[in-house]
Amino acid sequence: AQFFNAEAAKIEIKFKDYTLKFTAKNQFVILSRKSDGAQSIFQIPISTLFIKEDVFIPLIYCADYVSLGYGKKISFDSRSKNLIITNEPFAVESFVFAEQAQEKETKQLEPETPLERVSPKYDINSIEVEEKSNGTLIRLKANRRLNIPRHSISNNTLFVFLSGVTIAPDIVNSVKPAGLVSRIKKTVITSKNNQLEFALNDGYSTTEALQDLDNNDILITIHNKLFESAPLIVDEAKSKWLFDAVVIDAGHGGKDPGAIGVTGVKEKNVNLAVALILGKLIEKNLPGVKVVYTRKTDEFIELYKRGKIANESGGKLFISIHCNSTEAKDISFRGFEVYLLRPGRTSQAIKIAEFENSVIKYEDNPDRYQKLTDENFILVSMAHSQYMRYSETFSDILDQEWKKNVEIPALGIKQAGFYVLVGASMPGVLIENGFLSNRKDEAHLASASGQNEIAKAIFSSVKRYKENYEKEFGK
């Protein structure tokens, strides 16, 4: 059986023992067990589509989840576009439900004597509200594994219904509203049935409740309208999965010179030169691929606006072009690096990210950015996890092409928290083309031949990535 809620844009596929739920323009799949309501949440690499009141599910990624609900193996042949249903059993027990996992952990961790047991007085003792680049994150800090609460938005208020859950009486008093949340109220229905109300500021779009898989906390995300998609017609929906736009971001610019080289070469000028050459190569050799620049002249563009430009253009790949440097000038250390958006794991990677992120000092409102600690990566990770595999693929191709074609040595693929990558909701990398603090790298980066060499290596990588991407999506 199938149930569709047009207002919420949700679809439920009902099997004998399980229900599978998909939400339009969302990458999370929820499998519910009918006998006790237990849920397990899965994430797919790309979102579902919503076209003329229909939810389209990417079967290439969802066949196993449909198999879980059905109980028998179902597969999707991407070449023939056929759905293959077999009699081969597909055991749902191979996937652990949240409640089952928590029960198992609790039994394993149960202390030997009553004196060692600690029983928190309330299921939820505190609430945290944090503003993020693409919305607001509400964290309900729980002492045990809870079912994901029902929630809805009405009259500019987010209602969260907590059934069978105890909440600290003064929980609202210690919460500081932030972002899209202006006020918080708690309504007690019974001792174990409570309702939380979050008054919302203008600018919200959708909301989602999730379980933090690292602990017992409930995460409620309120998305702002920055990434809200316009209604799609069929052709536009199809293009969403086509590789038809590349965003080229020339780092720094205008009043922000970026790094300064040994002889005074400014990073912003090298970045722009490489970006423009790369764009022309793509326009000339990849018909059907639109090139979007975050800047084409020597101007200062705020980091959040770069992400906004990328998202509004429907980009399929975001390439941020930079040059590296060290505090000490005229050093022997040189080389190219490509960075993915993840918490920095080395002191050097963290320093590089801090330098690139420091451009916010030139902006009118630098407070809009929160320091990207591991903890603050929660909402960012949910937004970017669907793209990370593709970012990794491109960075690997780029590393290979660089080693074959560029004089500057390749130092490999690194990871760090760059603000400019946070804002772009698509696969993306940040490239450090070489060290301006090294005389040899600086000369190569400043020369027309060096800039052309670098742009050609990046272009070759884009071309190879496009071929791999389209092969995977069966174009």
Q: Which residues of the chain fall short of a pLDDT of 70?
A: 1-8, 27, 41-46, 78, 91-120, 133-134, 190-191, 213-214, 226-241, 341-387, 415-424, 473-475
Backbone dihedral region of 259: left (phi > 0), alpha (psi from -120 to 50 degrees) or beta?
A: beta
Q: What is each CA distance from 248 to 278, 340, 369, 447, 448, in whole angstroms?
A: 8, 16, 22, 20, 19
Beta bridge partners of 76: 83
Cα 87 to Cα 74: distance, rounded to the nearest angstrom: 9
Separation CA 44–CA 62 (nearest Å): 7
Tokens of 60: 């290439």
Pure H helices in 255-302 = 267-285
State residue 275's pLDDT score: 97
Query: What letter would DSSP give residue 266?
Result: B
Specify whether the CB–CB gap between 459 and 285 falls below 8 A: yes
Report which of 65, 70, 56 is spatially closest to residue 26, judged by C-alpha positions: 56
pLDDT of residue 163: 82
| Amino acid (1-letter code) at residue 73 | K
Tell me if 84 sits within 8 A of 77, measured CB to CB. yes
pLDDT at 287: 92
Domain range summary for the chain, segments of one domain joined by +: 2-98, 122-227, 242-472
Contact present, 318 and 421 (Cβ < 8 Å): yes
d(CA 431, CA 271): 10
φ and ψ of 455, to 5 deg: -60, -40
Q: What is the pLDDT of residue 379?
A: 39
What are the distances in angstroms from CA 201 to CA 133, 135, 182, 361?
16, 11, 6, 27
Domain 242-472, classified CATH 3.40.630.40, yes or no: yes
- pTM for the whole structure: 0.49
With contact defined as beta carbons under 8 Å apart, do 243 and 216 qualify? no
Q: How many residues in the chain?
A: 475
Question: What's the pLDDT score for residue 328?
Answer: 78
Q: Which one of 3.40.120.10, 2.60.120.10, 2.60.40.3500, 3.30.43.10 gives the CATH number of domain 122-227?
A: 2.60.40.3500
User: In this structure, what token pair is assigned to residue 299?
Assistant: 């101007």
* Max CA pair span of the chain: 75
8 class by beta-carbon count within 10 Å (0-12 exposed, 13-18 middle, 19+ buried): exposed
Residue reference for tokens 């949340």: 181
pLDDT at 368: 43
Tens-digit pLDDT profile for residues 302-348? 877 887 888 788 888 989 999 988 877 777 889 998 887 654 344 44
